[in-house]
Amino acid sequence: MAIVNSGFEDRIAAGLDPVVIALQETFNGEDVQPGYSFRNDLGIQYSFDGTYKTMGMDNGLVAADIIALDSPLPVKSRPAVQQATGLVPKIGTERFMNETDRKQLRTMIRSNEPAIRVNARLFNDVRHVYGGVLEQIEWRHLQGQSQGFFVADHPDNVGLGVRVDYGYRNQNLFNANIVWGQPGYTAVGDLVRVIEASKVKIARVRMNVATKNLLLASPDASNLVADVNGAQSNGTRPTLTRLNEALQTEYGFVIEVVDRSIRYEINGVFTDVDPWATGQVIFLQAGKFGDLVWSDVEEMHTPVGGVNYSTAEQFILISQYAAKRPSLRFWTDAQAVALPVINGYNILKLDTTTPATT
């Protein structure tokens, strides 16, 4: 691969950083669509050696001892055990402008098109590669959260597959008394059973749209709303708002619905996926429950001559350059060494698709 002069170096040198900064504000906005739940769920943690670890622990408090003055303090055990470790994987994507695109861009410049239109075309791919990294993080965050693990592997993709296990997929696991949707199922009863078994305060319960619809259709959802409002149940399906009001009043938690799809591309074929595992319900405390662990992209320390760089959110390296490999193209790419890491010690999971054993 030969790096060549693109003819747009001055514009890129002046415009790449401002574009990335503007996109960073947009992608971090409260109203950004599509949204990124990992920003609210996870902290951010730098890994100097490029590794991650999940922690499993009993987060309950142990009472202190009462001792006489001048006596030594009894040593208590530290209730943390390492569950999983590994290397933080690399995320990357790139797009290119071919010779025809470049000629059209030159024509715009020669025709004295406004700079804002020229730059919109020149930097259009920056949004796609930056957002592509965020989409991958969101995908694995939701997939891993709902399953307790995720596998990133595709036979036509480049590189080795990655498997990350957060250590709770076989712990704190409950099954439905009756599979949701089958005759006689009691969705609210299953939720309450998990809440009552929890040793921590559960504030929010997450599920996807299909599972939410089964919950609202459950007869005991209608009964709960009627009871809380001092009315006679007539079997009417409640709204999620009314059910959440009842659940908050009676049990101190609310339902959060995950309605998110991710689109990926392999060999020019686009596929939409639902990252949330079918029928899985996750019980969470208030606040954050993990970290977005990141490390340096090697190119941050060894930049290549002739490449224009900009860094977004500390960990996403965005670059633009022209290269002959073999035909002349103008490339825009994004790289990150980052992984959503969920600490599952206080996460509970209900599988509504599998009946409890008796």
Each domain of the chain, given as residue ranges in start order, spans: 2-40+48-56+80-166+293-339
d(CA 200, CA 264): 37
The pairing of beta strand 204-208 with beta strand 254-258: parallel
d(CA 310, CA 16): 7
For residue 21, the surrounding DSSP H or E stretch is helix 9-27
* Per-residue pLDDT, 157: 55
Neighbours of 186 (CB within 10 A): 18
* Per-residue pLDDT, 77: 47
d(CA 333, CA 132): 10
Task: For the domain made up of 2-40+48-56+80-166+293-339, give the CATH fold.
Answer: putative capsid protein of prophage fold (3.15.30)
Residues of the chain falling short of pLDDT 70: 1-2, 4-7, 54-84, 153-161, 358
* Per-residue pLDDT, 82: 45
Residue type, 262: I
* Per-residue pLDDT, 281: 97
* Per-residue pLDDT, 58: 45
Distance, C-alpha 33 to centroid of its chain: 14
**Cβ(52)–Cβ(293) under 8 Å?**
yes
